[in-house]
Amino acid sequence: MTTVLRTRAELAATLAPLPGSLAVVMTMGALHSGHEALLRTAREQADFVLATIFVNPLQFGPNEDFDRYPRTLDADLEVCRAAGVQYVFAPSREELYPDGEPMVRVDPGSLGEELEGASRPGFFDGVLTVVLKLLNLLRPDVAVFGEKDYQQLTLIRRMVRDLELDVEIVGVPTVREPDGLALSSRNRYLSAEERLSALRLSAALRAGATAAGAGRGADGALAAAYRAFGEGTTGAKLDYLVLTDPQLGPAPVTGPARMLAAAWVGGTRLIDNLPVELAPAARTTEE
Ligand code: PAF
């Protein structure tokens, strides 16, 4: 059975006597199979699972899709029930922000201004502020987040370390459609034609990962990814395509790395990323 909690009072009354460990999965609803993977992982991590469903206004810019963001609570509760989630916390905006928008917020530092943060100013302040607030209200043992939002996951891990928060953060690999498209609540904005263009994003990352694994170095990997994206030949427009180390610092020469990309497909902005292994340069016959 899934119990839906709407208020802090209901939350406190439920969580205080909880006879076991708690894992949380924070979401903005519009749940899909990617969220189901997070919920499954949460079940493996703790005795009780609580999912939050809250479309957080703080993380949307003035021209972004806050108003049209899909709100599908009944279907989301079905997903939670089927996944064996015991509790859902779905507060109203007034319940979570009783004094209006918070005056004091979490500053994500310089990483918060790069990549997603460069295109979406204030986005990570909004994300980290609501994540910290929810961690404080829920006091979970474990919080599970998807690698699809890799920069978000990296900043949440960093916040937990820098601010000495007593919670374990678990990341879950991205779930994809059979053709490679990363699952996202925003995929439902795409027309059939746009969906085809959106495939360029995962195709670019795969090409980059293959080139990296073949010893073509960071430059070779990025060049392969750009080629596979095929800017100008599809309806998708790249916002960024980068290769970094796993913590989003400068890319190493060899070893584990991450390739991240964002693109506009029509009016929809999509992001994706892949782990990449930069193999040592392949020896040529002249050497
Ligand atoms: O990843 C999301 O859905 C949101 O950014 C989160 C973590 C629920 C905060 O609103």
Q: Along the 287 residues of the chain, how does pLDDT read in single tens digits? A: 999 999 999 999 999 989 999 999 999 999 999 999 999 999 999 999 999 999 999 999 999 999 999 999 999 999 999 999 999 999 999 999 999 999 999 999 999 999 999 999 999 999 999 999 999 999 999 999 999 999 999 999 999 999 999 999 999 999 999 999 999 999 999 999 999 999 999 999 999 999 999 999 999 999 999 999 998 788 899 999 999 999 999 999 999 999 999 999 999 999 999 999 999 986 655 55
Judge whether 28 is annotated as a binding position.
Answer: yes
| Ligand 1 geometric centre to CA of 120 (Å) | 14
| Ligand 1 geometric centre to CA of 126 (Å) | 9
Pocket of ligand 1 (CB under 6 A): 26-28, 56, 59, 127, 130-131, 149, 152
Contact (CB, 8 A) for 131 and 144: no
22, 25, 35, 140: the active-site residue: 35
**Read out DSSP for 25-54?**
EEE-S---HHHHHHHHHHHHH-SEEEEEE-
8-state DSSP, 162 = H
Q: Provide the whole-model pTM.
A: 0.96
Q: Whose CA is nearest to atom 3 of ligand 1?
A: 27
